[in-house]
Amino acid sequence: MTTKETRLIIDLKALAENYKTVKSQLKPETKIMGVVKAFAYGTDSEIIAHKLVDYGVDYLAVAYTEEGVRLRNSGIQTPILVFYPQIEELSNLIDYRLTPSVYSFNFLIGLNKHLNELETIDFPIHLKINTGLNRLGFDLDELDEIYEEIQTNKRVKLSGLFSHLAASGTASQVDFTKQQIEKFQIARQFFIHKFGETFVSHLCNSSGIFNYPEAEFDMVRAGIALYGYGNNEAENAQLIPVSNLKTVIAQLRTIQKGESVGYERMFKTEKEAKIATLPLGYTDGIARQFGNGKAEILVNGHKAPIVGNVCMDTLMVDVTGIDCQEGDDVTIFGKEHSAVSFDKFQQTIPYEIITRISQRVTRVIEI
């Protein structure tokens, strides 16, 4: 069985609408950085990046240097920020005009040394400040030391300053988020005092855009919102899913009361049931955690639970009482049945669901 019938439809009209929605939340002068890491959240990074450039995006962002290299090779000229650059990749960063996020002294010193060997000056960087996520970035008590390293070597130029909000979509964490904003302001004012307003400041992620307009600064980073999801119902209501995962019913069978379905016989029927087998499984990105009634797909307008364990290349669905035939199209998740609806018990977040879809699944562009 192949996955020809299984495809991820990428809805570019939805992408355009989501971009407009993001832009409508902002002041006219606020710049937008479009985040296209992780294959543009499981879609197609090159196609999405080119579309965002067409829409007027000011910056793009990727996780790793190799992602930025691919975008440059596809013809993208827009500035690209690399969130997690490595010392070993400095040559590609420089050759492909990629802007590194500088989040540690180890990286900053290594970058200065490499630029010194090349006799390069004013290489643009964005400094990452840790304001509470405690993942990557400099702490506030390191600001003077950062400034000294930059001024002593004069190889890099501060072109951006940013941090990342830990819980901007969580109502119970408003006070913490405001503390993060205040800490970022301290770092921002420090560098404005040292360098003047010569760099862009960006703090808001997708939920920050919707919930903290006072923290727009010069630019925002739009990630999951561009792909149709927020972090709560209010945000989701304003957005349209871009990724639509569809497949077909490969086989239907009727099983009797007491029979089981799938490995380890995890699902046993309490009455006669109609079971549909679909040609996608955990290799394609549908995790085993979604088996045994933990997720629902859409079959001819009706929700149907995944039953039994998800297999490597297939999964089974209980379609008892649903009018359907072999070969019928079904929706795993998408515009008419979001990743939130698919994940019946909210075991994870839409980010994980949409980015897990493997490259074995054919991408189809819908204009």
Residue 312 assigned to a binding site: yes
Would you say the pTM of this structure is higher than 0.85? yes
What confidence category does residue 134 fall into, taking pLDDT thresholds of 50, 70 and 90?
Answer: very high
**The one-letter amino acid at 7:** R
Backbone angles phi, psi at 215, to 5 degrees: -110, 25
Provide the pLDDT for residue 234.
86
Q: Are residue 249 and residue 278 in the same domain, yes or no?
A: yes
- What is the spatial distance between Cα 104 and Cα 129, in angstroms, rounded to a whole number? 10
pLDDT tens sequence across 270-321: 999 999 999 999 999 999 999 999 999 999 999 999 999 999 999 999 999 9
Tell me: pLDDT of 114 over 90.
yes
Same structural domain for residues 94 and 200? yes
Which of 12-16, 53-57, 150-154, 272-276 is predicted least confidently? 150-154
Residues recognised as catalytic: 37, 263
- Percentage of residues in the chain having pLDDT higher than 90: 97
Which helix (H) or strand (E) covers residue 267, if one does? strand 267-268
Residue 234 falls inside a structural domain: no
Per DSSP, the three-state class of 15 is helix
Q: What is the pLDDT of residue 232?
A: 84
Is 219 known to sit in a ligand binding site? no
Residue 120 maps to a domain: yes
CATH number of the domain that residue 256 is part of = 2.40.37.10
Same domain, 255 and 178: no
What is the separation of C-alpha 35 from the centre of its chain, rounded to a whole number of angstroms? 7
Question: With 70 as the cut, is the pLDDT of residue 3 above it?
Answer: no
Q: What is the pLDDT of residue 233?
A: 87
For residues 111 and 219, membership in a common domain is answered with yes
Q: Does residue 255 sit in the same domain as residue 311?
A: yes
Q: Are residues 55 and 165 in the same domain?
A: yes
What would the mean pLDDT of 94-123 be, rounded to a whole number? 97
Of the candidates 256, 259, 260, 236, the residue with the CA atom closest to the CA atom of residue 335: 236
3-state DSSP assignment of residue 199: coil
Mean pLDDT computed over every residue of the chain? 96
Domain membership of residue 152 as a residue range:
12-227
Q: Is the pLDDT score of 2 beyond 70? A: no
Task: Summarize pLDDT for 40-82 with one digit per residue, the tens.
Answer: 999 999 999 999 999 999 999 999 999 999 999 999 999 999 9
205-256 pLDDT, tens digit per residue, is 999 999 999 999 999 999 999 999 998 888 899 999 999 999 999 999 999 9
Structurally, how many domains does the chain consist of? Answer: 2
Q: What's the pLDDT at 4? A: 58
- pLDDT by residue (tens digit) across 178-208? 999 999 999 999 999 999 999 999 999 999 9
Q: Answer yes or no: do 147 and 21 share one domain.
A: yes
Report the distance separating Cα 339 and Cα 48, nearest Å: 20
